[in-house]
A and B are shown apart, each in its own frame.
Chain A
């Protein structure tokens, strides 16, 4: 446990696919104690399971290793600790790749910790035999409905194993599936010695984590009044200035772009929000309506007064399964009469496919006319609106891969055998890609056990 009065914890990667510039600039452009990085979307672990089954050295976030290769000397020099869920389903392979990077830079004594216990794919049948139904949280259906096609199953672990890894002296903590806010709460538990029943403090850290977990989405990205946001190209990523009493300030490095005020922070609190009084997690239940959010100088927002309560007896589990196939493609249809011609194009494709025996039900086929108001259907644009051009997007889905693949070759012939003004075909014929379904479920905490292991370069 440390004795600091203030700890700086940043998020440099808001999601799988976020810019590498975020974390690189956080390391270079100002003071920092902890850098947290989120690499896992809901179905990422399923893709990683597949990659590992083809190559036992894969199954983790390779982007993370590339990042560490670019910033490791600075991390060592500035003593910045890194917490990332980059381990995926193969944290040991990720650790081995990091040790190679350390060797390349001639760095000895780098401590890497692995947090394990989230991956329950091999235990599923055992747990189901013990009575855990893994009912789908959205639909109530039992997991037995899709058990044969399950490709990954991971518990959203909490922040205490991360704190344990930091207590053991780790400079890089690798996890698999955990909650996003846990990446930020973990170092607070480690630094301030918070206990498992300090529910108000754990709620404060959870709320801080939620505010920064999507990176630049709390510093002016995806913000309603976008004209207010200066220098979005060089947008700063968020930093939590955490204090032992649970109050904290969200800020960013000086001379970075973007904006932090009460409304940019409130925007992010709304993201993926359900019942604001009951934000459930593995460490506590946080009440978003309890906090006071106030401006505390330029690009600084102070948050205080968080109230928490005990977590539920169950932890959330992320399960993914094979849900069939889909294919989609697009063409641009130029006016005059762009929308009418695009509708005709779509009908031509469906008619030709039906002629060849490929009938798709209303559930299985899809068409939309981008530019005529597809995002705000029924509200703006619509059938009376004639844009200069529209993008015709069409697709099919279903359990039969061959039937889904039959669709692609009938799209491009429209260029020569449809109405005039059809263009913009690029990227090859649409091909069937796997649909990976997401199955959220619950597991009693008595079945959860975690393990922390430290390795050194």
Chain B
């Protein structure tokens, strides 16, 4: 196992979704997707984003795109238009997830191209 930032094996895009946001996490390889599908659970993301998201977290998987889509149900500080936060639309929440540190098997890292 090697400790890495999630950014090493995944990419992300996020945006607002009602009172919350969604963060689509895209694995950079099939090996990374198999690992993340097992390890990057709703509980793990909820704990990592606890200071940003006070609501539950729902995960959906799209195998064809190697995507795990996380819905953070209450992450905008009171809804898009009423929020006073800088990131009232959750534009940076995907990058926040990518900052997560994870212990990843070396063979998964070796099978995954490095970020540019």
For the complex, is A251 an interface residue (Cβ under 8 Å from B)?
no
Please determine whether B79 and A438 come into contact, CB atoms closer than 8 angstroms: yes
Chain B residue contacts of A328, Cβ below 8 A: 84
Cα–Cα, bound, A276→B66 (Å): 12
| Residues in A265-304 with C-beta less than 8 Å from chain B | 266-277, 288-293
Please determine whether A326 and B84 come into contact, CB atoms closer than 8 angstroms: yes
Known: A323-B81, A324-B82, A326-B82. A375 touches B17 (CB 8 A): no
CB A230 to nearest CB in B, in angstroms, measures 11
A321-333 near B? 1/0 per residue, CB < 8 Å: 0011010100000
For the complex, is A436 an interface residue (Cβ under 8 Å from B)?
yes
Number of chain A residues close to chain B: CB under 8 A: 52
B3-46 near A? 1/0 per residue, CB < 8 Å: 00001000111111111001010100000000000000000000
For the complex, is B96 an interface residue (Cβ under 8 Å from A)?
yes
Cα–Cα, bound, A326→B77 (Å): 13
Cα–Cα, bound, A379→B99 (Å): 7
For the complex, is B51 an interface residue (Cβ under 8 Å from A)?
yes
Please determine whether A375 and B64 come into contact, CB atoms closer than 8 angstroms: no
For the complex, is A222 an interface residue (Cβ under 8 Å from B)?
yes
Known: A374-B87, A376-B95, A376-B99. A270 touches B50 (CB 8 A): no
A387-422 near B? 1/0 per residue, CB < 8 Å: 000000101110000000000000000000000000
Out of B61, B66, B87, B116, which one reaches A225, CB within 8 Å? B116
B66-89 near A? 1/0 per residue, CB < 8 Å: 110101000001011110111100
Number of chain B residues close to chain A: CB under 8 A: 47
Q: Tell me the nearest residue of chain A to B99, going by C-beta.
A: A379
For the complex, is A198 an interface residue (Cβ under 8 Å from B)?
no
For the complex, is A87 an interface residue (Cβ under 8 Å from B)?
no
CB B5 to nearest CB in A, in angstroms, measures 11
Please determine whether A270 and B82 come into contact, CB atoms closer than 8 angstroms: no
CB A48 to nearest CB in B, in angstroms, measures 15
For the complex, is A108 an interface residue (Cβ under 8 Å from B)?
no
Known: A224-B98, A267-B26. A272 touches B81 (CB 8 A): no
For the complex, is A12 an interface residue (Cβ under 8 Å from B)?
no
Known: A263-B11, A437-B81. A270 touches B86 (CB 8 A): no
Please determine whether A269 and B116 come into contact, CB atoms closer than 8 angstroms: no
Known: A224-B115, A266-B26, A291-B64. A435 touches B16 (CB 8 A): no
Please determine whether B11 and A274 come into contact, CB atoms closer than 8 angstroms: no
Please determine whether A271 and B13 come into contact, CB atoms closer than 8 angstroms: yes
For the complex, is A110 an interface residue (Cβ under 8 Å from B)?
no
Please determine whether B69 and A273 come into contact, CB atoms closer than 8 angstroms: yes
Please determine whether B12 and A366 come into contact, CB atoms closer than 8 angstroms: no
Please determine whether B81 and A438 come into contact, CB atoms closer than 8 angstroms: yes
CB A137 to nearest CB in B, in angstroms, measures 7
Chain B residue contacts of A123, Cβ below 8 A: none
Known: A228-B116, A435-B81. A293 touches B17 (CB 8 A): no
Subset of 17 A-B contacts with CB under 8 Å: A222-B91, A263-B11, A263-B26, A266-B26, A267-B24, A270-B22, A274-B71, A292-B64, A324-B82, A328-B84, A375-B95, A376-B96, A377-B51, A378-B51, A379-B99, A379-B100, A440-B18
Binding site for A on B (CB under 8 A): 7, 11-19, 22, 24, 26, 48-52, 60-67, 69, 71, 77, 79-82, 84-87, 91-92, 94-96, 98-100, 115-116
Binding site for B on A (CB under 8 A): 42-43, 137-138, 222-225, 227-228, 263, 266-277, 288-293, 323-324, 326, 328, 366, 368, 370, 374-380, 393, 395-397, 435-438, 440
